[in-house]
Amino acid sequence: MNDDETVTCSYCGTQAPAAEALSWTTAVERGRQQRFCVTCSRENLRAMEGKLDSEWW
């Protein structure tokens, strides 16, 4: 990933430069990599720990 690349939250659509997205959560759902911003990660932490797909949040 390049520093000038933009990363998009798979849940809410928030975008940030790749350097700022280092604190985001990454998951693999059905073989596809998902990225979740800090806000979405905090709001859905229990579902993530329970390994629920993001469609169930």
Q: Which residues contact 19 (CB under 8 A, 6 or more apart)?
A: 3
pLDDT tens, residue order, the chain (57 aa): 566 799 999 999 999 999 999 999 998 888 999 999 999 999 988 887 887 777 766
- Phi and psi at 4, nearest 5°, equal -90, 5
- pTM of the predicted model as reported, rounded to 2 decimal places: 0.77
The domain segmentation of the chain, as residue ranges, is: 6-51
Residue 2 has what pLDDT?
A: 64
Determine the Cα–Cα distance for residues 4 and 16; give it in Å rounded to an integer.
Answer: 10
